[in-house]
């Protein structure tokens, strides 16, 4: 690999594997990242005398060579700073330049074209007093070394990559249950719009939803309208998430294993264009987005990743920038559930859609630095618990208020009986007119007899 035959070691969930050659190092890269990087520059930190793998950072190779210097400086600084914050600065670095040949281009030509970039990576790390032990170019199924002068192990024409699954690293990864998800290009395609003919219908639905929803989420909108919209979007999201409780149908009705295109089509069929449009536009409200970020654990988190992936694919032109919200939620849910490769891809795409999206930037940095997502999970759990407690308290107060209102309106012994109302000018038999004294003996005297006025003088009644 280089003049001093430096060895490196990679860990597959507790089992340490020693890599002794550029070929083994190139074969280990997909297992370190979780996917085959394409059009990528990758730096991996090495720690200790054995060169134990540590932090890593990946970025797309700039298409313009004039950006190589600044990119090299930025990558080196970010990796060293991230490692220093976690444990200690790296003791060494290995780099990878991964790019397939273009039209009418060979792998050897890619190797030579990227040589200045490889050299700039070495000087950028050297300026930080971190040695670069190896930089490999991986292109067209071959790997080339920019550092090893020994043509017996690193010939100028390159060396074919090992067959998939035949290396020691592949065997150790399979034993540990680590899977390579395919190429970076394939992973990104799962989050990007598929193109016509479905784009037209989805674009029309987005136009309709934008006219109704955008005025209710922009700054200065009526807060009551915004609150009603939030509840509507949250309820819709909950109903749609329920459709993803069933796992992907990887086996077709004919018993054959379905490809990724068929799986994506099955997922897309679970969300109608109008529903997708309402959710995409509703996620532009930060409070709504943060509430939905609580779908982050277990089966609910895995289903949420699939839902956010579908919504990201529905952000067709000219709504590409709106994909930052569902892509960030997909990255967060994937990272929280332990799927770092998917998380890195989704967060990279979110920043590509909107480089200033703060939530994506913070998550991307935390994921790259290898931080534990539990701190953010705990914060979201506390927020949800506080919200539920406040809602229960408000409901209890409302119940007590209704009870007091009913109590004030009630009379002891039950409600007052209603009195019969007589017709105007009419007197019922045996009863007087309304307001008259109850009938007694005097009311039964013969007509014409006048009632006595008082009693005899000197008697008790006549006093």
Kindly report, residue by residue over 407-454, the tens digit of the pLDDT.
766 555 555 545 455 455 444 444 444 444 444 444 444 444 444 444
Digit-coded pLDDT (tens) for 62-93:
999 999 999 999 999 999 998 888 889 999 99
Digit-coded pLDDT (tens) for 104-149:
999 999 999 999 999 999 999 999 999 999 999 999 999 999 999 8
Digit-coded pLDDT (tens) for 257-279:
888 888 888 999 999 999 999 99
Residues 136 and 111: their CA atoms lie apart, in Å, by 9
Contacts of 120 (CB under 8 A, 6+ apart): 68, 69, 72
Q: Are 161 and 27 in contact (CB under 8 A)?
A: yes
Average predicted confidence (pLDDT) for the chain: 84
Determine which helix (DSSP H) or strand (DSSP E) holds 48, and give its type and residue range.
none
Q: Answer yes or no: is pLDDT of 175 > 70.
A: no
Peptide bond preceding 429 in cis form (omega within 30 of 0): no
Q: Answer yes or no: is pLDDT of 61 > 90.
A: yes
Instruction: Please give the pLDDT value at position 454.
Output: 44
SS3 64: coil
Residues 146 and 2: their CA atoms lie apart, in Å, by 9
Digit-coded pLDDT (tens) for 232-263:
999 999 999 999 988 888 877 777 788 888 88
Residue 275 to residues 196, 247, 268, 311, Cα–Cα distance (Å): 19, 21, 11, 10
Instruction: Please give the pLDDT value at position 86.
Output: 82
User: Band of the pLDDT at 328, cuts 50, 70, 90?
Assistant: very high
Instruction: Give the mean pLDDT of 20-40.
Output: 88
Instruction: Give the mean pLDDT of 25-34.
Output: 87
Judged by average pLDDT, the poorest of 40-44, 96-100, 369-373 is: 369-373
Q: CA 438, 440, 446, 450 torsion: positive or negative?
A: negative
Q: Answer yes or no: is pLDDT of 41 > 60.
A: yes
9 DSSP β-pair partners: 18, 52
SS3 43: strand
Q: 98-123 as b/e, with b when 16 or more CB fall inside 10 Å?
A: bbebeeeeebbebbebbeebbebbbe
**Closest of 459, 199, 190 to residue 330, by C-alpha:** 190
Return the percentage of the chain with pLDDT > 70, whole number: 81
**pTM, to two decimals:** 0.73
Instruction: Please give the pLDDT value at position 391.
Output: 81
Instruction: Give the mean pLDDT of 159-173.
Output: 71
Instruction: Give the mean pLDDT of 323-334.
Output: 97
Highest averaged pLDDT of the listed ranges 144-158, 174-188, 240-254, 273-287: 273-287
Instruction: Give the mean pLDDT of 183-210.
Output: 90
Return the percentage of the chain with pLDDT > 90, whole number: 54
Contacts of 20 (CB under 8 A, 6+ apart): 1, 5, 7
């Amino acid at each position: 690999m280089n003049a001093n035959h430096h060895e490196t070691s990679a860990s597959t969930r507790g089992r340490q594997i020693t890599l002794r050659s550029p070929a083994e190092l190139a074969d280990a890269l997909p297992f370190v990242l979780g996917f085959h990087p394409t059009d990528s520059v990758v730096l991996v930190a090495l720690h200790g005398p054995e060169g134990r793998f540590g932090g890593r950072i990946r970025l797309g190779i700039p298409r313009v060579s004039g950006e190589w210097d600044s990119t090299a400086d930025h990558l080196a600084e970010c990796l060293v700073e991230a490692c220093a914050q976690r444990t200690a600065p790296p003791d060494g670095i290995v780099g990878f330049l991964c790019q397939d040949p273009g039209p009418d281009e060979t792998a050897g030509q890619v190797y030579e074209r990227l040589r200045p970039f490889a050299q700039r990576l070495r000087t950028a790390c050297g300026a930080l007093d971190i040695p670069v032990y190896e930089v490999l170019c991986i292109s067209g199924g071959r790997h080339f070394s920019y550092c090893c002068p020994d043509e017996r192990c690193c010939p100028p024409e390159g060396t074919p990559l090992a067959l998939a699954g035949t290396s020691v690293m592949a065997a150790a990864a399979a034993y540990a249950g680590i899977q390579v998800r395919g190429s970076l290009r394939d992973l990104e395609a799962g989050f990007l719009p598929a193109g016509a003919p479905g784009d037209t219908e989805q674009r029309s639905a987005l136009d309709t939803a934008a006219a109704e929803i955008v005025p209710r989420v922009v700054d200065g909108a009526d807060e009551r309208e915004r609150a009603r919209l939030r509840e509507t979007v949250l309820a819709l999201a909950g109903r749609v998430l329920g459709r993803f409780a069933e796992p992907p149908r990887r086996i077709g009705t004919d018993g054959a294993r379905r490809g990724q295109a068929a799986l994506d089509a099955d997922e897309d069929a679970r969300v109608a264009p109008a529903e997708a449009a309402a959710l995409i536009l509703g996620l532009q409200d930060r409070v709504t987005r943060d509430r939905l970020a609580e779908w982050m654990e277990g089966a609910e988190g895995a289903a949420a990743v699939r839902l956010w992936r579908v919504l990201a694919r529905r952000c067709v032109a000219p709504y590409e920038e709106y994909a930052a919200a569902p892509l960030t939620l997909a990255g967060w849910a994937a990272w929280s559930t332990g799927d770092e490769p998917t998380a890195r891809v989704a967060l990279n795409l979110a920043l590509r859609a909107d480089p200033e999206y703060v939530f994506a930037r913070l998550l991307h940095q935390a994921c790259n630095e290898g931080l534990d997502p539990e701190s953010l999970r705990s914060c979201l759990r506390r927020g949800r618990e506080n919200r539920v407690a406040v809602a229960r308290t408000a409901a209890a107060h409302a119940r007590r208020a209704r009870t007091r209102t009913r109590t004030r309106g009630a009379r002891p012994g039950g409600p007052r009986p209603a009195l019969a109302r007589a017709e105007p000018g009419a007197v019922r038999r045996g009863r007087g007119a309304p307001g008259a004294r109850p009938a007694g003996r005097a009311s039964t005297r013969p007509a014409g007899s006048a009632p006595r006025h008082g009693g005899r003088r000197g008697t008790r009644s006549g006093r």
